[in-house]
Structure 1
């Protein structure tokens, strides 16, 4: 993700195509996409005792239900950002939303620890695509200066609010329809978001992207980041 590259008028951004710009709608859409990804960092916490009892999983496995999401989200930020700049930011946003929705469905129907942890990892990867693409689209659609600062401020505020809201919403869903709904709730949001994205925000790529993509280097760096986060966690 190359935030510094989008310093000129967003209407003239290289490689950009799509619907007429509606800054308010673009801001709301991208902030909500980011909000969903950060919400899932904490939404599962309140449900852990219920998940432990129902799936009969160990305390160690239960910890991975929480940490795997963060490890994949953090570890893949650089790679997903590079892919977004190269292949298209909106395309990668849609990819992330669909992956997030599909893995949320898988998490909701999980019957054992391995299935749930794997689904949480896929969620984290989808979240990495969403976060990097959405933030890059945000900077690409708002000119450097007050407009961009306000947009980034809104993004940051909602991201912080998501952590608090996750705990509250997680408790309400666990006590209400059940813990599986902390995942099921993401499915329609992710699918609808992927479908409406072309109507809201135009496609864009980095004007400075190279034609070659160092897959081996990107994968090696990402693997190192994941291992580092895993070790620190």
Structure 2
């Protein structure tokens, strides 16, 4: 999990070196990221269900193998086409392994306290991976070459397979007779692929362009067709019964809103430090380190105990309220570097990011708790898919709003730093609104289970 999450962010800081070495055009360079995101986001749901059919252990091992081999291909790539193809294959392998990871955890750890600990470790890995990737990518690129951001995956991937073979028990498979729903798979995969493509190209073509509207409309039509198919198919790829659980439906919706909002924290705080404060890559990584530390400390040290004592819902609500505070504080960032004091303007927000360490493990438990064992891979794939959809929404909505606000302030004659800060502040404010929406959904949909004093005879 660390390897696949880390790979989503480690490449970003190496992009200039990759462009110079391989001769990418500016438009072509974006596909080093987009090829991975499109494959990863569009295949999670299919991979999760296939894991239920053929065995989650098999899917995990196959996905890790594909990702590791693709990392080798990316590291030795000598042309843009080879690197983009390798990044697409990395996305395929990531989807295969990630889609079933949660399903494996909840079937391995059935005792509530142990499951909470396992999910806390899993959540910490995901939360910390992005931060580690930004720092590690800069170090490897500066000290060695960009190729090593991919080569570093080889020993991790080999070790993961080596330990997983004996450690993961064989799981119950539904078998080929239960599926797969080929038409449903084609509909959802093509719909998600087109939808993610439309989103990642908004910055280039605009949200109201015919290209964006056309691809987006076609994606929605394909996904709508997928849901119609699932309601009528004899062996659906995604049985709609999974949505009958309020915890599954509510947790996925809350996650989508939360991840979309936190895109503003992960990306725009970094941009603010570099573009307004003039921080370098290493200094930016160190400035973001307190957030990773508190998220890790809370995820690993406190979340499981708090969930056991107060329940997932209350811990989730507390975490979301802290996250509202994070983005609220960031809306007040000064627009001039000489007005900024890291310890009073940025550090408090970094420390309140502990709310993510509370919210994500509780949300993960809720998102998986309502699924039957035979649907564990599907529920895992669904949870990962809504995470990617949330990230895509964050990219589309917040990036567009921030850029538009910056352009209007620049046109009004404001200095560049102040104009950029104004765009970031708007993104933080909208992100805070998304967290409030997530908080509302969690409070109303994720109801506390009723306690019964006596069993019915």
The answer, yes or no, to whether TM exceeds 0.5 is yes
CA shift digits 1:54-86 (9 cap, x unpaired): 111111111110122122111111000011111
Instruction: State how far apart, in whole Å, the 2-side matches of 1:208 and 1:148 are.
Output: 27
The equivalent of 1:120 in structure 2 is: 87
Please tell me whether Structure 1 or Structure 2 has the larger radius of gyration of its CA atoms.
2
Aligned position for 1:199: 166
Q: In structure 1, what is the equivalent of residue 25 of structure 2?
A: 58
C-alpha separation in 2, matches of 1:146 and 1:209: 34
Q: Does the CA-based 8 Å contact 2:53-2:175 persist in structure 1?
A: no
Aligned partner (choices 29, 38, 44) of residue 5 of structure 2: 38
- Structure 2 partner of 1:167: 134
Q: How far apart, CA to CA, are the structure 2 residues paired with 1:121 and 1:162?
A: 20
User: Hey, what does 2:101 align to over in structure 1?
Assistant: 134
Q: Deviations over 1:16-44 (max 9, x none)?
A: xxxxxxxxxxxxxxxxxx11100000000
Moved more, 209-218 or 40-49: 209-218
1: CA distance between counterparts of 2:124 and 2:22? Answer: 35
Q: What's the secondary structure of 1:166's corresponding residue?
A: helix
Q: Which runs of 5+ in 2 are unaligned?
A: 201-457
1:111 aligns with 2:78: yes
Segments of structure 1 that go 5 or more residues without pairing to the other structure are 1-33
Secondary structure of the residue aligned to 1:96 is helix
State the SS of the aligned residue for 1:76: helix
| SS of structure 1 residue aligned to 2:126 | helix
Deviation at 1:210, TM superposition (A): 5.4
**Aligned counterparts of 2:56 and 2:70: Cα–Cα separation in 1:** 21
Which structure has the higher relative contact order (CA within 8 Å, separation 6+)?
1
Q: CA deviation at 1:114?
A: 1.1
Displacement of 1:144 after TM fit? 5.6
Tell me if the contact between 1:108 and 1:183 (Cα under 8 Å) persists in the aligned partners: yes
Tell me the residue number matched to 1:95.
62
Give the 5 Å matches for 1:147-166. Answer: 147-166=114-133
How far apart are the structure 2 equivalents of 1:93 and 1:131?
Answer: 7
* Mapped partners of 1:105, 1:47: distance in 2: 17
Q: Which residue pairs with 1:82 in the alignment?
A: 49
**Aligned partners of 1:85 and 1:209 also within 8 Å:** no
Once the two structures are TM-superposed, the CA of residue 209 in structure 1 deviates from its matched residue by 8.5
CA contact (8 A) 2:64 2:93 kept: yes
Greater CA deviation, 219-228 or 100-109? 219-228
C-alpha distance in 1 between matches for 2:115 and 2:32? 35
Matched residues in 2 for 1:38 and 1:205: separation? 27
Equivalent residues of 1:79, 1:219 under 8 A apart: no
Could you tell me the TM-score, scaled by structure 2's length?
0.42
Return closer, same or farther for 1:115/1:49 CA change in 2, 3 Å cut-off.
same
**What is the distance in 2 between the residues matched to 1:215 and 1:207?**
16
Partner of 1:222: 189
Distance 1:219 1:110, change over 3 A: same
- Cα distance in 1 for partners of 2:175, 2:75 equals 41
The ranges of structure 1 where at least 4 consecutive aligned residues each deviate by more than 2 angstroms after the TM superposition are: 144-147, 205-212
Find the aligned partners of 1:119 and 1:101 in 2 and give their Cα distance.
10
Encode CA deviations 1:201-226: one digit per residue, 9 max, x unaligned: 11213569953321232122111111
Task: Judge conservation of contact 1:84–1:205 (CA < 8 Å) in 2.
Answer: no
Alignment of 1:1-12 (within 5 A): none
Question: 1:19 aligns to what?
Answer: none
**Residues of 1 paired with 2:182 and 2:152: CA distance?**
34
- Which of 166, 170, 179 is 2:146 aligned to? 179
